[in-house]
Structure 1
Amino acid sequence: MAIFSASNRDAAAYPIQSLFVPFPFVCFTLALATDIAFWQSGNVMWQNFSAWLLLAGLMLGSLAILAGLMDLMRPRTRPLRPPLLSALLYLIILGLSFANNLIHAGDGWTAVVPYGLMLSALTFVLCLVAAAVSARKYARLAWRI
């Protein structure tokens, strides 16, 4: 029978937000891919896919924010909290994707092709930056353990 000290319990804590954060990144990346497909083909099906992917990413991103707030209240997840820059980037990404979803709500070619495509690309780049910022902290923690 193993007895866990306080330091072992703190090191073993797993943040709940880590379950939800990857899903918006995947949805926003696929929204960029479907925007490019719409730009190349003009088929309205791709515009609908983009709108649904943006909505799914926003919903799952909201769940990630709620899980992150729950993790803020748990003292055991203190070492694994994302840095402030990463949290701000997550909020900016969700704000941009909300604006992008409003743009995609329009009809026809102008709902995607200049501004929707640019916002999708900007969201994708910010997702990469947020993942890099978060990975730096987790890499430092891995060396600590």
Structure 2
Amino acid sequence: MRVENKSSQFRVASAVFNLLNPIPFGFFVAVLIFDIIYANSADVLWVKSSAWLVSMGLLFAIVPRLINLYYVWFGKSRATLAVKVDFWLNVFGIATALVNAFVHSRDAYAVIPDGVWLSVATVVALAIGRVILAWQNVSFKEFGHE
């Protein structure tokens, strides 16, 4: 077993990252579900709810991505390829979620089908990133640094 003396700043950033990182994914999955329900029912409640959810997901995505940006690109140790790919997939997913937020600002049925496809792209990008990290057995606790 290796004992490491990590700074308290790293521990706080790691705790914040681990706390906030899964939240946007949950919001974006809910947006996808609500968009699919809306496409099949045309009940305005679902599209308005998904507009709020995508906005909240974007708000919760800011802090973990900034922490991840620092540790992947400016940290002292080198990030693995899996961590870098996950970073770019998250950037792509958040960019599509941002476009999706603008699409959801439209009137009711004008959201369909663009909102559904953007929701699918967002969820798939974030899910692939998580699968790649799991496949490479990368620990979120250490941001992929060895």
Normalising by structure 1, we get a TM-score of 0.77
Aligned to 1:137: 136
Aligned to 1:107: 107
Letter in 1 for 2:4: N
Q: What displacement does 1:34 show? A: 0.4
Q: Return structure 1 stretches of 4+ with deviation > 6 angstroms.
A: 79-82
Letter in 1 for 2:49: F
Aligned to 2:44: 44
**Aligned residues of 2:27 and 2:54 also touching (Cα < 8 A):** yes
Aligned to 1:126: 125
Q: What is the aligned-residue identity percentage?
A: 23
- Let me know the Cα RMSD of the aligned residues: 2.9
**CA 120–140 in structure 1, closer or farther in 2 if over 3 Å, else same:** closer
Gaps (5+ residues) in structure 1? none
**CA 9–79 in structure 1, closer or farther in 2 if over 3 Å, else same:** farther
Letter in 2 for 1:124: V
User: Mapping of 1:62-101 within 5 angstroms?
Assistant: 62-69=62-69, 71=71, 78=77, 83-101=83-101
Letter in 2 for 1:8: E
Q: What displacement does 1:128 show? A: 1.4
**CA 118–136 in structure 1, closer or farther in 2 if over 3 Å, else same:** same
**Aligned residues of 1:34 and 1:50 also touching (Cα < 8 A):** yes
Q: Which secondary structure does the structure 2 equivalent of 1:8 belong to?
A: coil
Q: What displacement does 1:139 show? A: 5.1
CA distance in 1, matches of 2:95, 2:105: 16
Normalising by structure 2, we get a TM-score of 0.77
